[in-house]
């Protein structure tokens, strides 16, 4: 499957990231991301308000030049929340955290799509795109896709004034191609 994230930077159109998912190597992780891109994962059980499980409207809350751009927290927006498409289903905890898939792919280049987590088997909705090779992440985070269009947009994440934490990159729209 191929998904897209239409991005805005400080309210202005930035462009489209096109992402090829490695469903053959990481089927559960790829499907989680696909469902959250499509907005087909129902509503969050983690918040008191009715929040759609979707990446639309979420920000890249963490951008570290030369390392990663991280997003996907649709419950809190600051990197402390989020839940997977699997919340409330067998094989996931109450927030939908699910197990790492055995994938031997390495964080060996810019533009890889990987799950952000807080330790083994704690995958939810947060993800990151590598901005450089990050081999120290191998075995700790599951690589489940890659940027196949819009790789140049990553330069815009890293560049400019003010520096990245103060610049707001938002997913204006997302889905599956």
> How far apart, in Å, do the first and last CA atoms of the chain sit?
8
Q: What is the pLDDT of residue 47?
A: 61
| pTM of the complete model | 0.92
CATH T-level fold of 2-176: Cyclophilin (2.40.100)
Q: Let me know if 113 is a catalytic residue.
A: no
Token pair 């191609």 is at which residue?
177
Within 10 angstroms of residue 163's Cβ, the number of other Cβ atoms is 11
For the chain (length 177 residues), average pLDDT per consecutive 10?
Answer: 95 95 97 95 68 90 91 91 85 82 92 96 96 96 98 83 68 98
- Domain edges within the chain: 2-176
Q: What is the pLDDT of residue 50?
A: 66
Q: What is the pLDDT of residue 48?
A: 55
**Would you give the DSSP letter of residue 52?**
B
Q: What is the pLDDT of residue 116?
A: 97
Catalytic residue among 128, 131, 153, 154: 128
Q: What is the pLDDT of residue 155?
A: 87
Do the Cβ atoms of 20 and 2 come closer than 8 Å?
yes
Q: Let me know if 141 is a catalytic residue.
A: yes
Q: Let me know if 62 is a catalytic residue.
A: yes
Run of H or E residues at 38: helix 27-38
Catalytic residue among 32, 70, 123, 126: 70
Catalytic residue among 28, 53, 61, 62: 62
Q: What is the pLDDT of residue 162?
A: 54
Q: Let me know if 60 is a catalytic residue.
A: no
Q: Please, what is the Cα angle at 43 between 38 and 48, to 5 degrees? A: 145
Q: What is the pLDDT of residue 160?
A: 60
Q: Let me know if 70 is a catalytic residue.
A: yes
């Amino acid at each position: 499957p191929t998904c897209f994230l239409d991005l805005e930077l400080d309210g202005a159109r930035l462009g489209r990231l096109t992402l090829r998912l490695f469903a053959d190597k990481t089927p559960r992780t790829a499907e989680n991301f696909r469902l959250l891109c499509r907005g087909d994962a129902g509503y969050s059980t983690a918040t008191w308000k009715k929040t759609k499980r979707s990446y639309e409207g979420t920000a890249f809350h963490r951008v570290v030049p030369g390392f990663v751009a991280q997003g996907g927290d649709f419950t809190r927006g600051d990197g402390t929340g989020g839940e997977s498409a699997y919340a409330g289903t067998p094989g996931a905890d109450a927030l939908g955290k699910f197990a790492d898939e055995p994938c031997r792919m390495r964080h060996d280049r810019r533009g890889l799509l990987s799950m952000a987590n807080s330790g083994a088997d704690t995958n939810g909705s947060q993800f990151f795109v590598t901005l450089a090779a990050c081999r120290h992440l191998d075995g700790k985070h599951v690589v489940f896709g890659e940027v196949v269009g819009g790789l140049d947009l990553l330069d815009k994440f890293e560049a400019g004034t003010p520096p990245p934490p103060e610049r707001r990159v938002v997913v204006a729209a997302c889905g599956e191609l």
